[in-house]
Structure 1
Amino acid sequence: MEMDDAQSAGSSLFVITLCGSRENNWLVDFLWVVDKHQLCLIDIEQFVAGEMCTTTILTELSQDKSSLIVKDILLFGHEKSVEVDFEVMKTKPSDKYPSHSSTSYAITFSKSDKVPVGFFAELTGILAAHKVNLDFVERLSESSDPLACYEFVAKLNDTQQSLNTSESDARESSDSLSSIRSQIIALGKKYSVDTAIQRSDLLHRTKRLVVFDLSWTLISNDALNIVIEAAASLSEPSVANSLRHRLSELQHLHDDGKLLGDDYYLKRARLLKGFSVSSILQKVHHLLSFTEGSFSLCRALSKLGYKTAILSSGPHFLVEHDFAYGNTFETDAMGNFTGEISQPIVNASRKADLLQMLTMQERISLEQVIAVGDGPVSLEMLSLAGMAISVDQPEATDIKVGAHLCGKSLMTVLYLLGIRGRDALEMSRDTF
C-alpha cells in the first residue's frame, strides 16, 4: 500500500523518539514491541551523546490501533527507564525537501581539548542564514583523544545539476557555496579551530594521493633559509654575519613586494655559492624541525593505502621520498654550490604541472587528490586538488580552500578526512 493510500485509509505517520542510557541496550527490546504490532519502519536514526542514546523512528500507525500501540510503548519506556515522545507528521517526509537536486557536504572541525560553544553557535548561524539544514551530527573523537573533533553533514541545494535551472540561479548556488565555505574557514580562524568543508560523496571517501609542500608544512620553517643558516653556522663569524645580513635584506625586499617569485628564490640561492655540499648536508639535518604530527600522519596515510608526494620549491637534496620534487642546486667539480639552479625551477606553476603529471601517472582524477600547504608558491597546486588544506604560517595566502589548519599538529588532517579518533591514533602507531 502506498503511503498516500495508507493515510487516506485512516493511518498517520508517527515520529517516536526514545532517550535512555546506552548501557541498558533497550533498543533491541523496543524493536520487539514494534514487531509485535507489525509496524512498518519507514526510517530510523540513532546517535549517542556521552552516556545517553537517542533513537528516532518514523512509522505508520492505523488510527484504530494507535491507542493500544502507544500504551505498550509508554509501558516499555516506564519499565526500561527510557523517555518516550510522540509526534504526528502532517506531511510526507519528501514534502519537506525541495524538488530540485541537493548535494551532501561534510563540515568537519577540531581543536585541542574542546571546541568552544561560540563556534558551534556561529557555525549553525551561518548554515541557518543560507537555509541549510543539518542531516547528521557526529563526534569523531573519543573523550581521551588529544583533539575534540566533530562532523556535520548538511544538504546544500545544487541547482547547477538541474537542467531546468537558469544560468543566474546556478551562479547564485555556486556563490552561496563559496560564501558558506569562506565564512566557515574565517570562523575557524577566529576561534583557532581546524575546519574543513567538502562534498560528502564517494570521492570524499576514496582519496588516493596526498601531496605536501615542504616549507612551513612538513617542516616548521623555510627550507632554503635553513640551508643558508647551515652555511652560516659553518662559517667564520664575520662571514656568517654577512650571510645572515644579506638574507635579511632579501627577506625585507620580499615582504615589501619588491622581490618576488623566481627572482627572490634565485638571489637567495646565490648566497650558497662556494659552500661545500657535503658539509652543509651534514649540518642541515640537525637544523631541520619537523612539524608536529608529520611523521605520524604520513605513517597513518601509508597504512590506509594512500600514496604521498612532496612538491617543494626547496632544495631537492632535503627530500628523501619516492614521489619527491624540488629544485636541483648545481655544483662544480669540487662539490661546491655554484649558486645556480637547474631549469625548470619548481615554482607555483611547476608544482601545478607536477601534480597533474602525478595524477596521470597514478591514473587517478584530481578530485582524488589532497593537497596540503600554503603561501604563494602552493596556490596553484592547492587550487587543483579535490581537497585543499591550508596551513597557518607567516606567508599564509587567503585562497579558496576546503580546509584550514589553525593548530600545530598535522594529525588533524586525518580528522578532517572524517577518520575517527581511535582509528587515527591506531593508524599512527609505529606498528602494523
Structure 2
Amino acid sequence: MKDQNVASSLLVITLSGSRENNWLVDFLWVVHKYELCLNDIEQFVAGEICTTTIVTEFSEDKSSLIVKDILLFGHENNVEVDFEVVKAKQTENVSSNSNDSYAITFSKGDRVPVGFFAELTGVLATHKVNLDFAERLSESSDPLACYELVAKLNTQKSIDTVEPNSSDSFDSLSSIRSQILTLGKKYSVDTAIQRSDLLHRTKRLVAFDLSWTLISNDALNIVIEAAVALSEQSVATSLHARLSELQRLHKDGTLLGDEYYLKRAQLLRGFSASIIMQKIDDLLCFTEGALSLCRALSKLGYKTAILSSGPHFLVEHVKRKLGMDFAYGNIFETDDMGCLTGEISHPIVNANRKADLLQMLTMQERIGLDQVIAVGDGPVSSEMLSLAGMAISVDQPDATDMEVGAHLCGKSLMTVLYLLGIRGRDALEMSQESFHS
C-alpha cells in the first residue's frame, strides 16, 4: 500500500469551454488510458462557460505523452487548457479545532456590488483567510442574487497583528463576523456567516418575531390602529393622540419595556377583539417573502413558530395565514361581553419569556438549540436570538447592534432559504406550491 505521507507529483489540469458541449466526458476518456487516479475535481459554470479543474497523481515517466494528448484535445475541441505540475506536500496531522470551515453567504435584490465583494475579500485577506471555494446559489432569473463563499477561519485568538499577551488581542471569528455584517449594512447587502458543517444544513425549527419581521409594522400598534378606524371621529382622534404621546415617551426613553407595552394595551379597553379582527386585514402588511418562505419551509418539513409580544388573537391570525405550526403572543383579557379589559394575563411575553418559549419548543420537538434559526430584532427579540444556533437580525426602527450570525438589509425573508443551502430554482419551486392550513 502506498505511503500517503510521502511527497509526490501532482498534475493540476484546468479546462474551460462551452457548457453546451460534452467535452469533459471525452477528455476523461483521453486520459483514462494513462491509469491516472483522481485526487480532486471541481467545476463551476459562469454564463455560457464551464470551467473544470482536475487534480491527479502525475506519472513522470509518461509526462510528455500526457501533456501532448491534453494540448491536442484542447485544440481539437475548442477547449482552453492549462496545466501545472506541483510537488504534493507531505500530509500532516493537523488539529481541526483551530481551523474550521465557515460559510459566508451574501445576497441582494438586484445585483451584489463589486465594491462589497472587494471589501469582503479584503477583510478575509487581512485575517489571512484563504477561500476553499465560491459559488452562486441563485439562478440568473431569480429575484435575488445570492452567493456563498466557504473559507477556513482560525477561530483561536489572532496573534498575527498584535503583540503576544497584548490587551489588543481579539477573537478572529468575532472580528471577521462584525466586519462582514458592517459591510452588509454599508452596501445594503444581506450577509451571513455560519459554521459550514452538518448542522448548517440540518436546522429543524425556524422561530420568527412578528413585529417588523413577518409583518411590516408593530403588532400592537396595528391592533390599536384598527380600533381607531372603527371608532367615531372624536374617539379616534383621542386614541390616536394618546398613542402618539406614548410613542413619544418611548422614543425619549422615559417609557420602556413592559410598562410601555401595558400602557398601549390599556388603549384597547372596551373594544371587541372579534370586531377589531374584521378590520385587521386592511392594515396587515406582510414582509416581502414571508408567505413564500413559510410555504417552502413547510414543504421541506421544518417546524415554524411565531414568538411575539403582540396580541395573541393577531398572532394566531398570522399563523393561519402563513400556515405555521406554533404561535405565542400576549393573552389580552376580556370581560363577560367579550370586550377587551386593557389587561394582559401573566406571564407577559417579553424578551425573557420569548427565550423561555424557544427552549420549551426545542424540548417539545426534541431538538437542540443549535438546530434553531431565530429571525427578528430589537430589544424584545435579543435573548431569543442569542440562544439560537443561527440568529438573523432584520432592519427595523428599534434594531439592536447585538452580535448575530446574519443580517437582512433588503427585508426579503427568502434569503433565509439560501442560508439553509437551498438553491434558487428549488426555492422558487417550493415557495410557489400551495399548502393546507
Q: What TM-score, normalized to structure 2? A: 0.92
Q: Which residue of 2 aligns with 1:42?
A: 39
Paired residue for 1:258, among 243, 254, 257? Answer: 254
Q: What 5-or-longer segments of structure 1 have no aligned partner?
A: 161-166
Paired residue for 1:114, among 111, 114, 139? Answer: 111
Q: Which residue of 1 aligns with 2:161?
A: none
CA gap 1:236/1:371 in 2 versus in 1, 3 angstroms:
same
Give yes or no for the alignment of 1:421 onto 2:424.
yes
> Which 10-residue stretch deviates more, 55-64 or 24-33?
55-64
Q: Which residue of 2 aligns with 1:103?
A: 100
The answer to whether the 8 A contact 1:214-1:310 is kept is: yes
Counterpart Cα distance in 1 of 2:361 and 2:81? 55
Over residues 74-120 of structure 1, what are the superposed CA-to-partner deviations in whole Å (9 max), with x where a residue is unaligned?
10111111111122213427579888642111111111121111111
CA gap 1:87/1:280 in 2 versus in 1, 3 angstroms:
same
Paired residue for 2:314, among 315, 318, 325? Answer: 318
Q: Which residue of 1 aligns with 2:16?
A: 19
After TM superposition, the structure 1 = structure 2 runs for residues 52-91 of structure 1, keeping only pairs within 5 Å, are 52-91=49-88
After TM superposition, the structure 1 = structure 2 runs for residues 76-225 of structure 1, keeping only pairs within 5 Å, are 76-92=73-89, 94=91, 101-159=98-156, 175-225=171-221
CA gap 1:99/1:244 in 2 versus in 1, 3 angstroms:
closer
> Which 10-residue stretch deviates more, 119-128 or 236-245?
236-245
Measure how far apart 1:396 and its partner are: 0.9
After TM superposition, the structure 1 = structure 2 runs for residues 232-271 of structure 1, keeping only pairs within 5 Å, are 232-271=228-267
Counterpart Cα distance in 2 of 1:105 and 1:93? 25
Counterpart Cα distance in 2 of 1:377 and 1:295? 23
Measure how far apart 1:28 and its partner are: 0.9
Give yes or no for the alignment of 1:298 onto 2:294.
yes
Counterpart Cα distance in 2 of 1:204 and 1:381? 19
Measure how far apart 1:40 and its partner are: 2.0
CA gap 1:93/1:255 in 2 versus in 1, 3 angstroms:
farther
Q: Which residue of 2 aligns with 1:381?
A: 384
Q: What 5-or-longer segments of structure 2 have no aligned partner?
A: 158-163, 320-324
The answer to whether the 8 A contact 1:108-1:418 is kept is: no
Measure how far apart 1:372 and its partner are: 0.7
Counterpart Cα distance in 2 of 1:93 and 1:349? 53
Q: Which residue of 2 aligns with 1:164?
A: none
The answer to whether the 8 A contact 1:15-1:59 is kept is: yes
After TM superposition, the structure 1 = structure 2 runs for residues 340-379 of structure 1, keeping only pairs within 5 Å, are 340-379=343-382
Aligned with 1:89: secondary structure? strand
Counterpart Cα distance in 2 of 1:56 and 1:270? 67
Counterpart Cα distance in 2 of 1:6 and 1:323? 57
Counterpart Cα distance in 2 of 1:45 and 1:247? 59
Aligned with 1:55: secondary structure? strand
Measure how far apart 1:365 and its partner are: 0.2
Counterpart Cα distance in 1 of 2:365 and 2:165? 38
- Counterpart of 1:325 in structure 2: which amino acid? Y
Aligned with 1:64: secondary structure? helix
Aligned with 1:152: secondary structure? strand
The answer to whether the 8 A contact 1:140-1:421 is kept is: yes
Paired residues, number = 420
Counterpart Cα distance in 2 of 1:178 and 1:300? 31
Aligned with 2:13: secondary structure? strand
- Counterpart of 1:265 in structure 2: which amino acid? Y
Counterpart Cα distance in 2 of 1:5 and 1:219? 60
- Counterpart of 2:246 in structure 1: which amino acid? L
The answer to whether the 8 A contact 2:15-2:79 is kept is: yes
The answer to whether the 8 A contact 1:351-1:378 is kept is: yes
Q: Which residue of 1 aligns with 2:160?
A: none
Counterpart Cα distance in 2 of 1:112 and 1:261? 34
> Which 10-residue stretch deviates more, 22-31 or 214-223?
22-31
Over residues 56-80 of structure 1, what are the superposed CA-to-partner deviations in whole Å (9 max), with x where a residue is unaligned?
1222223322111101111011111
Counterpart Cα distance in 2 of 1:94 and 1:54? 28
Measure how far apart 1:329 and its partner are: 0.7
- Counterpart of 2:43 in structure 1: which amino acid? Q
Q: Which residue of 1 aligns with 2:3?
A: 2
Measure how far apart 1:239 and its partner are: 1.6
The answer to whether the 8 A contact 1:195-1:416 is kept is: no
Aligned with 2:115: secondary structure? helix
Aligned with 1:239: secondary structure? helix
Measure how far apart 1:159 and its partner are: 4.2
- Counterpart of 1:326 in structure 2: which amino acid? G
Aligned with 1:216: secondary structure? coil
Q: What TM-score, normalized to structure 1? A: 0.93
Q: Which residue of 2 aligns with 1:163?
A: none
